[in-house]
């Protein structure tokens, strides 16, 4: 994304933080706060404002809070802002403690409520401005050369990065007859053209860039097309083979003009694992206490109905170590579920007993979902990197709509992104996104029951994805 957009959003953030701080004090005084409106010395407020702006600037760049870096995804933006505001409020409390001054609790509460509203609104306005500009013809037109899953995945990623000002005009790929085919985009829409005419077609629809996603056979006419596109002034990009190996930040080096792309793996350091474990214990115990009445009620009902409230399934944990994963005794994929069993399956509440696995250290609150030994034995080399961390109750793949029935390859793209970019900030953000997803399922269920009287499907991810994304389509590896 451009520096202009990045710093523009940051400037708007800092202005809103300043304005919200003043507004919080004004509201606190208007709501009956005692004493003078600003009872502390002026240097205290100047110091706390400076600390707040400095902390937010650090978080902004360190956690990519502008909202576009990982693709436009409103739940992610909302959860990141909430977690960042939580960190900011903690920093203000620490500053007050070190300065030996007390903040008004009402003013802090009002500030914590005001900040997310404005910060999310700033990003939505930025998204609207970017989309408006791209629709006025400022976007560069691109054709993707390839027909594989990677080509479709790349097109989806581009759609979720409007700030890049790129418009996918269509796809080109070799046909069995040796000519080129275009699709599935109607803007190209050809059934087959000779390679010599493909360049004329690209120039006719004003294509500025060509992205090659599939490996090409040596000496093919496609190589001639790529060379011709370069001579015609089009920018040509190549996606390296086995790109899954480069899910971390790739580094390019050269040896006498021979490009080399580094292949790096990441293992969480021991200190990070210990910190993650401590959070799992604290939050896991809190969840167990809060959810114990619900679990006890549901377990009693299941025991009366089936004679058994819980069931265990063998899953692979960190380093492929097998363990028994606990679940409520409900078949989530049965077609005849009714009443509370249907609710438990639809909202994934059958997984709540896995909090016990978290407390035992076999799982974590956030991480790749555990899979069976039968699936794990078929993992490719890069998929096995999922096993470098403990499996989780929820994860990046799950908040993007992927469930157990989806392929391990689809989920691995998200899970490896989680591992490579892990932080406590990301964990808290994903927990909030999980709550968001469950809330959307509840709203969707009510809408279907009230508006149409239709029973919602148990794992209908399409409607949820449409609700989660303000853009048109769900990225498969965003």
Chain-centroid distance, C-alpha 17: 25
Same domain, 355 and 336: yes
Q: Which residue has the tokens 């028994």?
A: 324
Same domain, 234 and 345: no
Report DSSP letters for 117-167, one per residue.
Answer: HHHHHHHHHHHHHHHHHIIIIISEEEEEE--SHHHHHHHHHHHT-GGG-EE
Distinct helix (H) and strand (E) counts, the chain: 15, 11
Same domain, 74 and 181: no
Residue of higher predicted confidence among 109 and 472: 109
Question: What is the model's pLDDT at position 245?
Answer: 58
Same domain, 221 and 334: no
201-229 residues labelled b (16+ CB within 10 A) or e (exposed):
bbeeeebbbbbbbbebeeeebbeebbeeb
Per-residue CA distances from 92 to 95, 104, 130 (Å):
5, 12, 33
Q: Provide the pLDDT confidence category of residue 353 given band limits of 50, 70 and 90.
A: very high
Task: Kindly state the tokens that stand for 186.
Answer: 């109607």
Mean pLDDT score, 144-154:
83
Report the C-alpha gap between 209 and 235 in whole angstroms: 5
Question: What is the model's pLDDT at position 460?
Answer: 34
Say yes or no to pLDDT of 120 above 60: yes
Report the C-alpha gap between 362 and 163 in whole angstroms: 41
From 74-78, 279-283, 331-335, 465-469, the region with the lowest mean pLDDT? 465-469
Total number of domains constituting the chain: 3
Q: What is the CATH number of the domain that holds 156?
A: 3.40.50.720
Task: Kindly state the tokens that stand for 355.
Answer: 């909090």
Same domain, 145 and 111: no
Among the listed residues 120, 128, 1, 111, the one whose alpha carbon sits nearest the alpha carbon of residue 45: 111
Say yes or no to pLDDT of 477 above 70: no
In a domain, 347, yes or no: yes
Q: Which residue has the tokens 């009402």?
A: 106
Residue of higher predicted confidence among 456 and 383: 383
Strands (E) located in 241-343: 252-255, 258-261, 310-316, 322-328
In a domain, 420, yes or no: yes
Question: What is the model's pLDDT at position 29?
Answer: 77
Question: What is the model's pLDDT at position 476?
Answer: 33
Same domain, 380 and 326: yes
Question: Taking a C-beta distance cutoff of 8 angstroms, is the pair 130, 163 a contact?
Answer: yes
Among the listed residues 23, 12, 32, 124, the one whose alpha carbon sits nearest the alpha carbon of residue 74: 124
Kindly report the backbone phi and psi dihedral angles of residue 3, in degrees, each rounded to the nearest multiple of 5, phi listed first: -65, -30
258 Rama class: left (phi>0) / alpha (psi -120 to 50) / beta: beta
350 SS3 class: helix
274-305 residues labelled b (16+ CB within 10 A) or e (exposed):
eebeeebeebbeebbeeeeeebeebbeebeee
Report the C-alpha gap between 446 and 459 in whole angstroms: 15
Among the listed residues 44, 58, 47, 45, the one whose alpha carbon sits nearest the alpha carbon of residue 14: 58
- Domain containing 163 equals 139-239
Task: Tell me the per-residue pLDDT of 361-388, one tens digit each, with 9 for 90 and over.
Answer: 999 999 999 999 999 998 887 788 889 8
From 22-31, 283-292, 404-413, the region with the lowest mean pLDDT? 404-413
Same domain, 220 and 303: no
In a domain, 219, yes or no: yes
Mean pLDDT score, 235-241:
84
Say yes or no to pLDDT of 346 above 90: no
Same domain, 441 and 308: yes
Task: Kindly state the tokens that stand for 216.
Answer: 């090409």
Question: What is the model's pLDDT at position 33?
Answer: 56
Say yes or no to pLDDT of 399 above 90: no
Residue of higher predicted confidence among 461 and 76: 76
Same domain, 280 and 293: yes
Could you say which of 77, 110, 136 is where a domain stops? 136
Q: Provide the pLDDT confidence category of residue 47 given band limits of 50, 70 and 90.
A: confident
Mean pLDDT across the chain, nearest whole number?
A: 81
Same domain, 219 and 288: no
Same domain, 296 and 420: yes
Q: Provide the pLDDT confidence category of residue 190 given band limits of 50, 70 and 90.
A: very low
Mean pLDDT score, 38-58:
78
Q: Where is mean pLDDT largest: 39-53, 217-231, 364-378? A: 364-378
What angle do helix axes 339-346 and 270-306 make, rounded to 10 degrees?
160
In a domain, 425, yes or no: yes
Question: What is the model's pLDDT at position 465?
Answer: 28
Among the listed residues 45, 148, 141, 154, the one whose alpha carbon sits nearest the alpha carbon of residue 101: 45
Question: Taking a C-beta distance cutoff of 8 angstroms, is the pair 356, 326 a contact?
Answer: yes
Question: What is the model's pLDDT at position 469?
Answer: 32
Q: Is the dihedral of CA 188, 194, 195, 200 positive or negative?
A: negative
Among the listed residues 472, 477, 467, the one whose alpha carbon sits nearest the alpha carbon of residue 74: 467
Same domain, 156 and 297: no
In a domain, 263, yes or no: no
In a domain, 245, yes or no: no
Report the C-alpha gap between 439 and 437 in whole angstroms: 5
Report DSSP letters for 52-90, one per residue.
Answer: HHHHHHHHHHHTTTTS-TT---HHHHHHHHHHHHHHHHH
Task: Tell me the per-residue pLDDT of 434-454, one tens digit each, with 9 for 90 and over.
Answer: 988 888 777 777 776 666 554
From 29-38, 84-93, 284-293, 401-410, the region with the lowest mean pLDDT? 29-38
Half-sphere exposure of 101 (CA within 13 A, CB side): 16
Question: What is the model's pLDDT at position 187?
Answer: 43
């Amino acid at each position: 994304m451009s520096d202009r957009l990045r710093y523009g959003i940051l400037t708007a953030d800092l202005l809103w933080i300043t304005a919200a701080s003043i507004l919080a004090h004004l509201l606190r005084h208007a709501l009956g706060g005692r004493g003078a409106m600003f009872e502390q010395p002026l240097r205290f407020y100047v110091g706390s404002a400076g600390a707040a702006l400095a902390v937010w600037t650090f978080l902004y760049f360190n956690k990519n809070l502008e909202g576009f870096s990982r693709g436009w995804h409103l739940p992610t933006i909302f959860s990141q802002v909430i977690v960042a505001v939580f960190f900011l409020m903690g920093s203000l409390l620490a500053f007050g403690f070190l300065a030996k001054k007390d903040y008004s609790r009402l003013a802090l509460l009002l500030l914590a409520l005001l900040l997310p509203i404005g910060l999310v609104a700033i990003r939505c306005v930025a998204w609207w401005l970017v989309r408006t500009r791209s629709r006025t013809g400022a976007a560069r037109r691109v054709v993707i050369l390839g027909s594989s899953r990677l080509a479709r995945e790349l097109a989806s990623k581009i759609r979720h990065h409007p700030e890049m000002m790129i418009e996918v005009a269509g796809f080109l790929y070799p046909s069995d007859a040796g000519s080129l085919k275009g699709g599935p985009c109607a803007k190209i829409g050809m059934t087959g053209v000779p390679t010599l005419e493909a360049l004329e077609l690209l120039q006719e629809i004003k294509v500025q860039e060509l992205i090659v996603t599939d490996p090409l056979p040596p000496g093919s006419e496609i190589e001639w097309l790529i060379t011709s596109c370069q001579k015609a002034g089009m920018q040509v990009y190549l996606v390296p083979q086995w790109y899954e190996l480069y899910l971390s930040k790739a580094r390019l080096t050269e040896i006498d003009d021979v490009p080399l792309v580094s292949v790096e793996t990441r293992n969480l350091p021991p200190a990070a694992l210990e910190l993650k474990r401590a959070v799992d214990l604290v939050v896991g115990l809190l969840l167990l206490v809060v959810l114990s009445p619900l679990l006890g009620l549901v377990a009693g009902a299941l025991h009366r109905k089936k004679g058994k409230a819980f069931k265990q399934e063998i899953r692979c944990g960190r380093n492929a170590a097998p363990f028994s994963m606990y679940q409520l005794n409900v078949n989530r994929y049965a077609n005849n579920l009714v009443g509370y069993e249907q609710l438990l399956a639809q909202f994934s509440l059958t997984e709540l007993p896995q909090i016990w696995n978290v407390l035992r250290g076999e799982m974590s609150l956030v991480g790749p979902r555990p899979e069976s030994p039968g699936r794990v034995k078929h993992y490719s080399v890069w998929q096995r990197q999922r096993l470098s961390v403990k499996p989780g109750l929820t994860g990046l793949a799950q908040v993007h709509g992927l469930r157990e029935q989806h392929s391990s390859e689809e989920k691995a793209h998200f899970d490896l992104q989680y591992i490579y970019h892990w932080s406590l900030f990301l964990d808290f953000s994903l927990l909030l996104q999980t709550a968001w997803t469950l809330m959307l399922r509840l709203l969707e269920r009510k809408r279907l029951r009230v508006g149409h009287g239709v029973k919602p499907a148990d794992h209908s991810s399409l409607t949820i994805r449409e609700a989660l994304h303000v853009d048109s389509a769900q990225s498969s590896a965003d």
